[in-house]
Chains A and B, each alone.
Chain A
């Protein structure tokens, strides 16, 4: 398909383990976002990649969270030493170019459960 693809769709992990979440944006989309959504809550901005510019990491909640993106392709969000409060749906979105008027397309998310 041509949409944003995220994997895994579901992940259950033990507290203290590291997890890596993957996002494949729509081909050609230069802007990529990661958001977190806790159960019943709104979207929480985590990090924003725009082409080859330095990412905006202002939303990352702690130094246990990191993300990388190579060029304009796949991005990975890594959570180290997971805690129960990290349980949430992690959503990735991409847009065609970092213009003001472009639609963000979301993947279906990775549902992370820390037990």
Chain B
């Protein structure tokens, strides 16, 4: 079983739609959680951290459920520019901390 699992998609949505991505992680030593965004043929970049209380950044809302080992990302009012691959990321305590990336969920927002 992969340490971080995501639905690969693709998700095809119209502009203005609300879309949600889910992610599960298997290692209970996971301590920090993130969503990264990767544009086509570009390197991944941090989108937002995910906190236990849930957090919001504009149209983006991230939530964490430690009991279920589940993370989500909600995008409201989708824009064409949101088209990208969204990577779920966990940081695992291995003595130090190792960052594990999920395989990503592709999103296509269409006019």
Residue ID in chain B nearest A58 by CB atoms: B98
Which chain A residue has the least Cβ–Cβ distance from B32? A100
Which listed residue, B43, B45, B87, B94, touches A56 by the CB 8 Å rule? Answer: B94
Known contacts A31-B96, A100-B32, A107-B43; is A42 also within 8 Å of B101 by CB? yes
Is A25 an interface position by the 8 A CB rule? no
Which bucket holds chain A's interface residue count? 20 to 34
What is the chain A residue whose CB lies nearest that of B106? A40
Q: Is chain B's interface secondary structure helix, strand, loop, or mixed overall?
A: strand
Residues on B with beta carbons closer than 8 Å to the beta carbon of A56: 94, 98
Q: Are B101 and A100 in contact (CB under 8 A)?
A: no
Question: Shortest distance in angstroms between B67's beta carbon and chain A's nearest beta carbon?
Answer: 19
Q: A residues bordering B, Cβ < 8 Å?
A: 31, 33, 35, 41-43, 45, 48, 50-51, 53, 56, 91, 93, 95, 98-101, 103-104, 106-109
Q: List 30 A-B contacts (CB under 8 A).
A: A31-B97, A35-B101, A42-B8, A42-B101, A43-B87, A43-B101, A43-B103, A45-B100, A45-B101, A48-B98, A48-B99, A50-B96, A51-B96, A53-B95, A56-B94, A91-B44, A93-B99, A98-B97, A100-B31, A100-B91, A100-B93, A100-B97, A101-B91, A103-B34, A104-B99, A106-B44, A106-B45, A107-B43, A108-B42, A109-B43
